[in-house]
Amino acid sequence: MDVVSGDRLLELAHRLVEVSPAAETEVIAGASCDRFARFAASGPTQSADRVLPRVQVRVRVERGGGLAEAQAVCDSLDPAGAQAALDRALAFAAHGSVSKELVPLGGATDVPACVGDASVLDQGFGAMSEWVERALSKCEEADLLPAGLAQTTYDARALVNSSGRSVDGSVSRVAFALTASDPGGGGAGFGDAIGRNAQELNVDRVLERAVTKGANNREPVGIEPGRYTVVLEPNAVSSLLLFASYQGLGAQDVAEEASFLCGRRGEQAFAESVSLFDDAGNDVYPGYSFDWEGTPKQRVELVREGVLGDPVTDRLWAAKQGVPNTGHAYPQPNTYGPKPGNLVLAAGDQSMEELVGGVERGLLVTQLHYTNMIDPRDLLLTGMTRNGTFLIEDGEITKPVKNLRFTESLVNAMASVSGVGKEREVAGALFDGEIICPALRIENFRFTSSTDF
């Protein structure tokens, strides 16, 4: 589809940079082709075919002995719309305040190629319709209520600036998820898969996981809150670790003393079995190879065998702190600083059976829900279990239990890891982002209350 053509995006961005009268100009031209089919027990509930272009223009204009910066955005690749965005950015900056912190835009650079799978563009609704039908039928056979989403997205981006930087790339994403719920108000089961194309998705596995868990979770029993050994499946792990990407692993978070890294860098704060890095170039689910300033993303070891490392940086924070730019900028200007966007938790050597088998009395947790942060210094989090929480006794899963609320710090949890799964998955969470991670076994995980189901 022409709208996601890298050449077209680059041409538009170059043209805008060339005509800009600003002292410095950066243009990011991008577009997504997104299709989705959402479903519930009544069948498909929503379906959409959307073309979503976006041009972001950042300018810096001379004003009273310094530079003032502003950004404007439009959702059109139309040259006139893009020019209007440039004009708005110029007008905004012309009346803005001078910033003494600005670092010059980065010059020419090479970035590793990143190209999405173009088959996603041609997929249409055929495969998604089939997945939805299979999910509905399988749930009907098992007397469970389905709810889920099938989605295909192809996203392309080009960044050009007035210092000679010109980079472009694309990514693709195909996802399918199913929640299978007991019609009598009991529990539910969940399964999902995320990949670069439809061929990578194991839809059978998603259906089997969700339906099996849902069928085994019809009559959960209440259990007292308290400290339990937990085996967190990858989706539950993602809910915890993604919070570290929102808050704590960026240089600004540390500088503002709102990070669990404060006072712990270089220390063995996590279990030795925990190694966490940010790696957009991973071969499981690669992301863009450059950040929102066009800087190549570096692979950053954030935690090495339990020892906490340094946070990620962007151009501003690298310059402020005299450290290398790791290429983790978000769209500029912003008030929140650099963040890791492609977290990967290293795999261990235990199968799921071995992780569960090592628990005398504990809980298997499929998913966590509405996780949120109470305090940034220890990354104190709270949230609920969801879609399949099971009691483990003497190494065996024995019965489903009603959902519980946890209140636990990520630092404590990661220090208490006693087992790491050998199989990794791409997993997301309620708020945003995705991470590649295995299951974890964690000792003394604190649950503080329970709910009715």
Partner 1 sequence: MSMNRMELAKDAVGAAEAAGAEYADARLVRLNEEELSVKNGAPGDAQAPEEWGVGVRIRKGGCFGFGARPLVAGSEAEAGREAAAAAVECAGALESAMREPTGWADVARDEATEYETPVEIDPFGVSVSDRLELLQAANASMEGHDSVVVRQAHCSLRREEQWQASSEGAALHQVLVRTGAGMDVTAAANGQVQKRSYPSSWGNYKSGGWEHVVAMEMPAHGERIRDEAVALCDAEPCPSGERTVVIGASQLALQIHESVGHPNELDRVHGHEVDLAGSSFATPEKLGGFRYGSELVNLVADSTIAGGLDTRGWDDECVPSGRWHVVKDGVFSGYHTSREWAHTIGEEGSRGTARAQGWWNPPIIRITNLSLQPGTWDFDSLIADCEDGSIFMDFVKMWSIDQRRLNFQFTCEVAWEIQGGKLGRMFRNPTYQGRTPDFWGSCDAICGPQHWDLWGVSNCGKGNPMQTAEMSHGAAPARFRGLTLVGAE
- 390-449: which residues touch partner 1 (CB under 8 A)? 403, 405, 407, 430-431, 448-449
Q: Which of 19, 43, 272, 353 binds partner 1 (CB under 8 A)?
A: 43
Q: Which of 149, 302, 303, 312 binds partner 1 (CB under 8 A)?
A: 149
Told to check if 103 binds partner 1 by CB under 8 A, we report no
Residue 294 near residue 288, CB atoms below 8 Å: no
Distances in Å between the alpha carbon of 116 and those of 157, 196, 287, 293?
11, 7, 9, 20
Distance CA 172, CA 194 (A): 10
- Give 141's contacts (C-beta < 8 A, 6+ positions apart): none
Distance CA 412, CA 233 (A): 18
Length of the chain: 453
Question: Which span (161-169, 234-242, 282-290, 363-371) binds partner 1, by CB under 8 A?
Answer: 363-371
Map residue 307 onto helix, strand or coil: strand
Q: Which of 1, 7, 99, 393 binds partner 1 (CB under 8 A)?
A: 99
Residue 421 near residue 439, CB atoms below 8 Å: yes
Shortest distance, CB of residue 287 to partner 1, whole angstroms?
Answer: 18
List beta partners, residue 70. 59
Told to check if 74 binds partner 1 by CB under 8 A, we report yes
Q: Pick the closer one to partner 1 by CB: 82 or 420.
A: 82
Distances in Å between the alpha carbon of 435 and those of 2, 16, 152, 194, 450?
30, 35, 18, 10, 28
Told to check if 25 binds partner 1 by CB under 8 A, we report no
Shortest distance, CB of residue 373 to partner 1, whole angstroms?
Answer: 6
The residue written with tokens 């020892």 in the block is 307
110-139 residues in contact with partner 1 (CB under 8 A) are 124-126, 128-129, 132-133, 136
Told to check if 80 binds partner 1 by CB under 8 A, we report yes
Q: Pick the closer one to partner 1 by CB: 15 or 299.
A: 15
170-229 residues in contact with partner 1 (CB under 8 A) are 177-179, 181, 188
Question: Which span (84-92, 283-291, 318-326, 418-426) binds partner 1, by CB under 8 A?
Answer: 84-92
Shortest distance, CB of residue 406 to partner 1, whole angstroms?
Answer: 10
- Give 371's contacts (C-beta < 8 A, 6+ positions apart): 239, 240, 243, 381, 382, 383, 429, 430, 431
Question: Which span (7-15, 68-76, 271-279, 289-297) binds partner 1, by CB under 8 A?
Answer: 68-76
Q: Pick the closer one to partner 1 by CB: 35 or 196.
A: 35
